[in-house]
Amino acid sequence: MILLVDDDAMVRLLASEVLISAGFEVMECSDGEHALEAFDKHEFSLVLLDVNMSGIDGFEVCRAIRERPHGQRVPIIMLTGMDDTVSIDRAYSLGATDFVTKPLNWTLLVYRVRYALRAAATVADLEVSQRRLAVAQRVARLGGWVWHIDDDRCERSQICLDLWGDTQPAAQAVPFGFLSRVLSPDRQHLREAMERARRGDAYQMSFRVQRGDGSVVTLYEQALPVRDEFGRVVRVEGVTQDVTERELAAERIRFLAYHDSLTGLANRQMFREMLDHALARSGRIGARCALLYLDLDRLKRINDSFGHTLGDQILREVAGRLVGSVRSADFVGREGVDPDEVVARLGGDEFTVLLTDLARPEDAARVATRICEELCRPLQVAHVELVVTASLGIALFPENGTDAEALLRHADMAMYAAKQRGRNTFEFFTEAMQQQALERLSLEQDLAHAIEAGQFSLHYQPQVDATSGRIVSAEALLRWTHPERGNVSPVQFIPVAEETGFIVPLSEWVVLTACRQIAQWRESGAPVVPVAINLSAINFRSDSLLPVIVHALESTGIPSELLHVELTESAVMHEPESALEKLKALKALGLKLSIDDFGTGYSSLSTLKQFPIDLLKIDRSFVRDLPDDASDGSIVEAILAMAQALSLGVVAEGVETEAQREFLTQRQCGLMQGYLFSRPLPAEQFLQRLEADRPG
Amino acid sequence: MTDTETLIDESILFSVPAMRNRASGLLPRMISLLHSEAESGLEAMGAAAAASDAGALREAAHRLKSASGALGAMRLHALARDIENAARGGYASFDEADRQEVEQVLQATFDALEKLSAALPSGTNASTCRAD
């Protein structure tokens, strides 16, 4: 709505007429007093105001409107006499937006009003845009400045000033006024960049600034010289931004990319880069390095038993102890390298330590010893006291490898050897280890193809009744005949099969082959005795164990009492509760169950009592020196007595002499197995032996 | 000097579109308003001069100037402006001769306005009636 103020009724009438015709809404007032009253009550988009009025004149009304908060931006067009330049000047000085002269051309008045409104809208938009820009600049901590070269004066926005902290008013307009706050060596760089900008070179640079309160921030500045039509630099326009948080974030990202988030140690990536760098340097100066590869013993068991949260706490504690061990090893020179950075976690429970500038290889052994000692101290996490030990492998540069890849691989092999040797110890890499590792790798590959290549077979060793000497059952033993290796001992390939997981399909093959053999004997009308198969701890824990046995029994149609299962003592005693469930399930199938190698592990007799087992097999190590070794004799007697008390059957393994047989028979050992009776025989020969044993 | 001014500036008078529209009745209404404004103006100017009140004379002349200007009655506008300017200078004179001059211009102005009013076409759309 337009407010039209004129004391001339004719002017008001005609002005209203044209403005309303042009689509405007108009409110008329015939004097200043009414005009101000109306202005306070209504909202107007524009005021048309006659200068010359009786009472309060137009100047006074204009001034009064501008004094009002809601009157500061409304466009005011003054109506003045054509020659009245004094009035025009005064009107502008009081805040008038425009003027039109009387007598009025009414058509032109409409245009003047329209353009004044459009200009006001543009100004309003500009103000909104400036406000938004100001907010954006404040949020982005971005301040603008202009350096006027001729009068060597700098105009800085408030945000720009704020970025520098509290500043002296006298310095605020001085182009180099804040330079003293810039830290060295950035100060000199900024000064030079500014000097070049004055001569016409743009610059972009980050620099660190110490504010008045002592805080240090990073500012980023971009400056662009502006030239006049003669090519002279007249000013430099620039923006300054606080990028402290961005820099911190970037630093954090860099840290995360190169560190293990759990322990804060260097990660694999960083360790590799440091190792490459250290080896290159050591190669140049002829220094010796040692790479220690460390693997925690049985961490998986701790994770399985107590959960990963506790496992993570252990890893953090181990990391701390590792760093401590290496730091206190003051004989290891590191030349300014942060000690934290030479200890790394490669992932899981694998850690590495890089020792540089080593005087003697023994120094690496001293560090390894210290690490073992530190780690095997009991640690207390979440009210649980645990002992975590580690196996370490050491590879030396340049003796054991000249590149990072080789050193890591060799240290890993040495670590593996330390684990094999009994854990909580360390080993230096040797060439023999490499041979063994290569041999093992080749064995793994051969093993993977051995089933389909038909290289496995089962041999059957008779188990005889001690009193009658008749064969009552047999143990199926796995044989691997490799075309080049010849007969490979189970002692050699079973551990490899267990570690690679190949034991699972291999045992399936054993179960199925034994069942098929029994089925074949039955079909041919031959005498048949139950056959015992051996299952490893891994098989026993595997979920596929029961389905495999059920499938083998069903597909061959043999009665389940013809299949015996032998499990090692350690397999069933580890996690006895779940073992009990498994054993019950096997028993429910109708299988006979025996504990193999009895006496070599640790059995809880109360647990043993609960297990639905049928037989104990006395380990051959107790039988070997009978009857001369008194202690072995006592152990065997104890086992037999215990078995009798628990109503369990007993099989003595490894019986090779008459004296052994006599000793065992006298003590009521029911069953025996060993070379004295028969070595393990291929299926054909075993059948012949069985048929000979059962004449008629 | 005032004789040289155009009696009626039609570009101003007809810059209000409804002015050309006979049906709107705007022009006769404005003529009538100018009549009463002139009448009271003449009276006020005479009284002000008699009382030697330059301020009152200036104010009355200003009103007449404004009203005549609104209709594009330029000769009357110029005459009123001269009186206003003289009064602003403290010259509070408006004698019989001045009065007669104003009345003459008024008469001529009204004659011209009436003539223009009578000549307005009877259509309702102003734009179709506009004469160049």
Confidence of residue A105 (pLDDT cuts 50, 70, 90): confident
CB A140 within 8 A of CB A220: no
Half-sphere exposure of A511 (CA within 13 A, CB side): 27
CB distance A54–B59 less than 8 Å?
yes
User: Considering chain A, what is the average pLDDT of its residues?
Assistant: 88
Instruction: Check CB contact of B48 with chain A, cutoff 8 Å.
Output: no
Q: What is the mean pLDDT of residues A158-176?
A: 89
| pLDDT at residue number A181 | 93
Average pLDDT over chain B reads 85
The distance of B95 to chain A (nearest Cα, Å) reads: 25
Residue A52 — very low, low, confident or very high, per pLDDT cuts 50/70/90?
confident
Q: How much is the pLDDT for A192?
A: 96
d(CA A588, CA A114): 99
A17: which chain B residues are within 8 Å (Cβ-Cβ)?
16, 18, 26
- Chain A partners of B37 at a C-beta cutoff of 8 Å? 10
Helix (H, G, I), strand (E, B) or coil at A206: strand
Among left, alpha and beta (phi > 0; psi -120 to 50; other), residue B97 is alpha
Contact (CB, 8 A) for A7 and A49: no
Query: Does the distance separating the beta carbons of A11 and B66 come in below 8 Å?
Result: yes
Nearest chain B residue to A84, by CA: B85
Closest CA to A552 of A504, A522, A516: A516
Q: What is the pLDDT of residue A387?
A: 84
Which amino acid, A436? Answer: Q
Q: pLDDT-based confidence at B126, cuts 50/70/90?
A: very low
Cβ within 8 Å, pair B12-A106: yes
B14 to chain A nearest CA, in Å? 9
| CB pair distance less than 8 Å for B72 and A106 | no
d(CA A621, CA A118): 107
User: How many C-beta neighbours within 10 Å does residue A378 have?
Assistant: 8
Interface test with chain A among B66, B77, B109, by most A beta carbons within 10 Å = B66
Average of per-residue pLDDT across A328-351: 64
Residue among A10, A107, A108 minimizing CB distance to B33: A10
Q: Which of B17, B37, B69 shows the shortest C-beta gap to A102?
A: B69
**Does B86 have pLDDT greater than 70?**
yes
Q: What is the mean pLDDT of residues A486-509?
A: 88
Q: Give the A-side interface with B, CB within 8 Å.
A: 8-11, 13-14, 17-18, 21, 52, 54, 81, 102-108
Using the Cα atoms of residue A492, residue A496, residue A502 and residue A503 in order, give the sign of their dihedral.
positive
Q: For chain B, how many helices (H) and strands (E)? A: 6, 0
Q: In angstroms, rounded to a whole number, what is the distance separating the alpha carbons of residues A455 and A452?
A: 8
Please report which confidence band the pLDDT of residue A448 belongs to, taking 50, 70 and 90 as the band edges: confident
Distances (CA, A) of A154 to A12, A144, A414, B54: 52, 11, 68, 58
Percent of chain A with pLDDT over 70: 97
Question: Distance (Å) from the C-alpha of residue A101 to the closest C-alpha of chain B?
Answer: 11
Q: Is the pLDDT of residue A668 over 70?
A: yes
Do B63 and A9 lie within an 8 Å CB cutoff?
no
How far from chain centre, in Å, is Cα B35?
8
Check B15 against A10: CB less than 8 A apart: no
Select from A336, A416, A340, A326 the least CA-distant residue to A371: A326
- Closest chain A CA to residue B11: A105
> How many Cβ atoms sit within 10 Å of the Cβ of residue A595?
23
Which pLDDT value is given to residue A328? 62
Give the whole-number percent of chain A exceeding pLDDT 90. Answer: 47
Nearest to A46 by CA among A121, A101, A103: A121
Whether A10 sits inside 8 A of B37 (CB atoms) is yes
Residues 54-73 of B with CB under 8 A from A: 59, 62-63, 66-72
CA distance A10 to chain B (A): 6
pLDDT in the model for residue A82? 65
pLDDT(A119) > 70? yes
pLDDT tens digits, one per residue of A637-657: 888 888 888 888 999 999 999
Nearest to B112 by CA among B59, B54, B67, B71: B71
- Considering only CB atoms, A8 lies closest to which of B9, B15, B67, namely B67
Exposure string over B25-46, b if 16+ CB within 10 A, otherwise e: ebbeebbebbeebbeebbebbb
Looking at residue A335, its pLDDT comes to 45
Give me the count of residues in chain A.
Answer: 696
Q: Shortest CB distance from B17 goes to which of A11, A21, A54?
A: A21
Put simply, the chain B residues between 12 and 31 with a CB less than 8 A from any chain A CB are 12, 15-18, 26, 30
User: In angstroms, what is the C-alpha Rg of chain B?
Assistant: 16
Distance CA A291, CA A540 (A): 38
**CA Rg, chain A, in Å?**
48
Mean pLDDT along residues A562-582: 84
Q: Region A236-254: what's the mean pLDDT?
A: 90
Residues of B in contact with A107 (CB under 8 A): 15
Q: In the structure encoding, which two tokens stand for residue A605, read together? A: 């007799």
**Model pLDDT for residues A61-77, shown as the tens digit of each residue:** 999 999 999 898 899 99
How near does any CA of chain A get to the CA of B96, in Å? Answer: 26
Query: Which residues, other chains included, contact B55 with Cβ-Cβ below 8 Å and sequence gap of 6+?
Result: B48, B87
Q: In angstroms, rounded to a whole number, what is the distance separating the alpha carbons of residues A521 and A519?
A: 5
Res. A350: pLDDT tops 60: yes
Preferred mutation among A11, A13, A14 to probe B, highest tally of B CBs within 10 A: A14
* Cβ <8 Å between A105 and B67: no
Q: Which of B116, B109, B68 is nearest to A81 (CA)?
A: B68
Q: In the prediction, which pLDDT does A329 show?
A: 56
* A to B CB pairs, distance under 8 Å: 55
Q: How far apart are CA B34 and CA B48, in angstroms?
A: 20
Beta strands in A92-215 (DSSP E): 98-102, 142-148, 153-156, 203-210
A155 pairs with which residues across the strands? A146
In degrees, rounded to 5, the angle at the alpha carbon of residue A644 between the alpha carbons of residues A641 and A648 is: 125
ipTM for the complex?
0.86
Q: Nearest to residue A291, comparing CAs of A353, A370, A363?
A: A353
Q: Is B75 on the interface with A (CB under 8 A)?
A: no
Neighboring chain B residues of A103 at a CB cutoff of 8 Å: 9, 12, 68-70, 72, 74, 77
Q: Is A17 in contact with B62 (Cβ distance < 8 A)?
A: no
CB contact under 8 Å between B12 and A13, yes or no, is no
What pLDDT score does A339 carry?
38
Cβ within 8 Å, pair A8-B77: no
Q: Which of A534-538, A574-578, A672-676, B95-99 has the weakest average pLDDT?
A: A574-578
Q: Tell me if B33 and A106 make a contact (CB, 8 A cut-off).
A: no
Per-residue pLDDT of A187-218, as tens digits, reads 999 999 999 999 999 999 999 999 988 899 99
Tell me which of B8, B15, B39 to substitute to probe the interface with A (most A C-beta atoms closer than 10 Å). B15
What are the DSSP calls for A679-692, one per residue?
--EEHHHHHHHHHH
* Confidence tier at A48 by pLDDT (50, 70, 90): very high
Set of chain B residues whose Cβ sits within 8 Å of the Cβ of A108: 15
Lowest-confidence region among A401-415, A562-576, A670-684, B6-20? A562-576
Contact B69/A106, CB-based, under 8 Å?
Answer: no
For A606-668, what is the HEC assignment? HHHHHCCCCEEEECHHHHCCCCCCHHHHHHHHHHHHHHHHCCCEEEECCCCCHHHHHHHHHCC
Residues of chain A with C-beta less than 8 angstroms from the C-beta of B17? 18, 21
Put simply, the answer to whether B71 touches A10 (Cβ < 8 Å) is yes
Helix (H) or strand (E) holding A151: none
Q: What is the pTM of this model?
A: 0.47
Q: A13 to chain B: which residues are within 8 Å by CB?
A: 30, 33
Q: Is B16 within 8 Å of A10 when comparing Cβ atoms? A: no
Residue of B nearest to A14 (CA): B16
Distance from CA of A158 to the nearest CA of B (A): 51
Q: In the prediction, which pLDDT does A338 show? A: 42
Note whether A103 contacts B70, CB cutoff 8 Å. yes
Hey, what are A339's tokens? 């000690």
Q: Is B33 on the interface with A (CB under 8 A)?
A: yes
Name the residue in chain B with its Cα closest to that of A81. B66
> Could you tell me which of A632, A604, A628 has the C-alpha nearest to residue A619?
A632
